Structures are given as C-alpha cells and as structure tokens.
Amino acid sequence: MNWKPVYAILILFSTVTTWLSGFLMERQKNRKKVFLIISLIINFSILFLYKYFDFLNQIVFDILDNLHIKYEIVNLDILLPVGISFYTFQAVGYTIDVYRKDIKHEPSIINYALFVSFFPQLIAGPIERAKNILAQFRELKILTKENLFGGLKLMLWGYFLKLVLADRLGVYVDAVFNNIENHNGSSILLASILFAFQIYGDFAGYSLIAIGTAKIMGFDLMTNFIRPYFATNITAFWRRWHISLSTWFRDYLYIPLGGNRGSKLKNNFNLFITFFISGIWHGANYTFVIWGALHGFYLILEKKFAIKQVKSKNFLMRLFPIIITFILVDLAWIFFRANSLSDAFLAITQIFTTAGENLFIKGDVLLGSIIALLILFIKEFKDEFFENKYRFLSNSNPYISASFSVLLFSIILLLGVFDSGQFIYFQF
C-alpha cells in the first residue's frame, strides 16, 4: 500500500477468494473440485495479468511480424506488485491442501489473512505451507531469550550474506553484465562465477532475515537453503536451493503430473515441464525460460546416466562432482543474470573466444570480495562436514557465541555495502 495503495486490493482479493474456496470445499464436498478450479483460475489470472500479459503479447507480435502480419501491440504497462508470485503460490497451496484433505479449512479469516500476508516472508519467501504455520497463529506467543538471541543470530548471518557478500560482489557483477560487449571472456567468466555467490548471498540472506525475524516473535518458518554449492549433482542442488519453491513445484505440479510414475518419456516430460514453468515463474523473459529449461535438461540427463549423489563426508571424494555441478549451475546462471537473451549468448561466446588478462576489478572490491567469500567458505565447509563441531555463533559457551557475534557485526560495518539496491528476488 505504501508503494501503490490499489495493489493492496490484489492481496486482499487473493486472500478472500482462497479462504472462501476452502470454506466451500468443506461445506459442499460434491462440488469441491469446481471450487478448487475457480480459485486456481482467479488467482493465476491475476498473476498472469500483472506478470505475463505483456510478455505473451510481445511473443504474439514477434510471431506475426515474422509472418508479415501487421498487429497493433497493446501493452498494459503496469508495475509488478511486490511479492505477488510468492503470496499467490502460498494461497493457492492452501486451497490444494484443503482439497486433498491434507489440512482442514481455517475457520478464522483473520488467521488465514495472517498466513497469506505474514510480513517477514511476504515479499520473497520462504513460501510457507498452511500445515506448518497456520496452527502457529492460534498459539499464544511469548518473547523468550532463546528465540530472541536465536533469531538475531540468524538475522546477523543473513545481513552478512546480503551486505558483505552479495552487495559487494554485485558491484563487479553489475558492471560487467550491464556492459557485456565491452568486457573480455576472463572478466565475464569471473563475473558469472561471482554472480552465483551474489544471488546465493542475496536470497539466502533475505530468507535468514525473514526466518530470524519470525523466530524472535516465536514463529518457525521452513529452511530455504542448505549449502547448495556443496551439492554433488543437480538433484541435490534443488534439494538445497530455494527449498520452499522446489518442494512447492514437486508437490503441486510434478507429482500431480505423474511424477516418476509411468514411462521414462512421461517422467522426462514431467521433469522438463516442471522446471520450464519454474523458469517462467521467475520472470516474463526468455532468459528465465532458458534457465528453467536448462535445469530440466540437466535432470533428464542425470536420470538417463544414473548420476547419483556422493554423500561421503570426505571433502576430496566429493570435490570433483561438486565442481561439475557448480559449472552446470553457473552456466545456467548466465541466462538468469543477463539483461537479454542476446547478452547471455554474447557472454558465453566471449568466455570461450576472447580470454584476456585484464579483469577490470578495483582493488578494494577484490579484497572485500575475497574476504567475504573466504568467510562464507569456512562457515559452509564447517557446517557441511563438521556440523556438530566448532560452533561459532551458536556455541554453548555464551562468551564464545557473543565474541563471534560482535566480530561478525564489526565485519558487516567495515565491509558492508550500504548504498546498494533491493533484494534480487523482490522483482519476482
């Protein structure tokens, strides 16, 4: 409302329609499929209108133009409402859960409205499930020391990921990707690698800040990231990256399509269409479509060649598959970050054809980036291979825990970039 007051009507409308659909599905069980379909059509129509109408219009125009058919393009030219993809999926998930009898209809529209519009995760997730959080709104919440300090520590690490890691790396990444044609292959390759960590720091940072904020108030939100760049295949990556979205697509799209049941061809189709739609969910642009399609293609190949996860706790045993997985993921990230499809293909072409010595990176940006990446690696490596040892922020000794908290806070103040833009996933 603060940004554009009329957009409050959208979330209110989505809330009321999905709550009513749940109510009617329980009251008139013989028509519950009808109410579910109406709810899905209404909510996805809103999402389509505000996010995809102009994109689809442009596709139609391009096709007809190639056929030499004149078509007067009419764009709505409307701003994308903040958080619409997230709260729409969360609300739709509720109606499907009620339809499947996984949960009962929430009798209180106030509690349900809180579920849809819960402020910590409203704008960029995690995309919560009704069965996890709705019951929490019915409980009396009391501020406790454990929740207060536990939440603040999560937020502190989240702010490090955002301000020190993501925003500092973003200085170089943005300079390169916003001016691709003037950079050599080495510079673009470095920027693409750094973007992988920028988007991780940006989105995982937001998720931790949201989870920490909720925890302070006594609410437990689902984990959204588990060290994705230690994954040893693409399947493992998607079990660690944006978990709330990947599990949403698994439960509400992939499995209803048939999942891994049926023929190999059908299974491959289910995988591909799930990730193709996941790409479209991220944005109305060909670059996101290619990004999603690439991940679908990766998973099909992974199944075909039976590439399994390496679960050894020995880092050296996992190093090669970690590197291969990262290369594949990073290749797809180029399409995700590029401003256009032509920029993405130019970037890949430059990487393989115009290697150069000059990386065009300032000394202070390089030093700050190295420090941030080193701290990230130490923390993630420790958590991955020595989960119950060498605890820093969550050490049982309050003096050790407090010391590392102060140290991390000082690093944020010293190296944080405080004049950067919003979180990347706000655009979705």
DSSP assignments along 174-240, one per residue: HHHHTTGGGS-HHHHHHHHHHHHHHHHHHHHHHHHHHHHHHHHTT--PPP--S-GGG-SSHHHHHTT
Q: How far apart are CA 19 and CA 107, in angstroms?
A: 9
Same domain as 165, residue 63: no
| The pair of three-digit structure tokens given for residue 400, joined into one six-digit string | 């050790």
- Domain edge (last residue) among 95, 117, 139: 117
Q: Report the pLDDT value the prediction gives residue 162, as an integer from 0 to 100.
A: 97
Same domain, 309 and 399: yes
Give residue for tokens 């028509």.
31
From residue 263, give the alpha-carbon distance in Å to each of 20, 259, 269, 294, 295.
38, 10, 10, 22, 20
Quote the pLDDT of residue 416. Answer: 93
The per-residue pLDDT for 70 is 80
pLDDT tens string, the chain, 428 residues long: the values are 777 788 889 999 999 999 999 999 999 989 999 999 999 999 999 999 888 888 888 888 888 888 888 877 676 667 778 889 999 999 999 999 999 999 999 999 999 999 999 999 998 989 999 999 999 999 999 999 999 999 999 999 999 999 999 999 999 999 999 999 999 999 999 999 999 999 999 999 999 999 999 999 999 999 999 999 999 999 999 999 999 999 999 999 999 999 989 899 999 999 999 999 999 999 889 999 999 999 999 999 999 999 999 999 899 999 999 999 999 999 999 999 999 999 999 999 999 998 776 666 776 778 989 999 999 999 999 999 998 888 888 888 889 999 999 999 999 999 999 987 788 887 76
Return all residues near 351 (Cβ < 8 A) that are at least 6 apart. Answer: 185, 188, 189, 192
Whether 133 is covered by a domain: the verdict is: no
Supply 191's token pair.
């920027």
Same structural domain for residues 194 and 105?
A: no
Active site residue 242: no
> Could you give the C-alpha distances from 54 to 59, 80, 283, 315, 426, in angstroms and in order?
9, 11, 12, 47, 19
**Strand, helix or coil at 156?**
helix
Residue 428 belongs to a domain:
no
Q: How many domains does the chain have?
A: 2
CA distance 272 to 27: 37
Q: Are residues 106 and 162 in the same domain?
A: no
Write the DSSP assignment of 27-44 as a string of letters: H-GGGHHHHHHHHHHHHH
Residue 54 CB coordination number (10 Å): 17
Is 158 found in the same domain as 97? no
Establish if 155 belongs to a structural domain: yes
In a domain, 422, yes or no: no
Do residues 153 and 111 both lie within one domain? no
Cα separation, 65 vs 69, in Å, equals 5
* 408 and 322 within one domain: yes
Statement to judge: residues 172 and 235 lie in one domain = yes
Regarding whether 43 and 181 lie in a shared domain, the answer is no
Residue 77: what pLDDT? 65
Predicted local confidence at residue 378, as pLDDT:
95
Q: Among the three residues 97, 117, 137, which one is the final residue of a domain in this structure?
A: 117
Chain centroid to Cα 192, Å, comes to: 18
Q: Which of 105, 183, 242, 282 is catalytic?
A: 282
Residue 67 lies in a domain: yes
Please indicate, yes or no, whether residues 108 and 151 belong to a single structural domain of this protein: no
Residues 46 and 158 in one domain: no
Q: What is the model's pTM?
A: 0.94
Question: Is residue 423 included in any domain, yes or no?
Answer: no
Residue 9: which domain range?
Answer: 5-117
Same domain, 400 and 308: yes
Which candidate, 51, 86, 91, places its Cα nearest to that of 244?
A: 86
Residue 36 lies in a domain: yes
Query: What single-letter amino acid sits at 69?
Result: I
Q: Does residue 249 lie within any of the structural domains?
A: yes
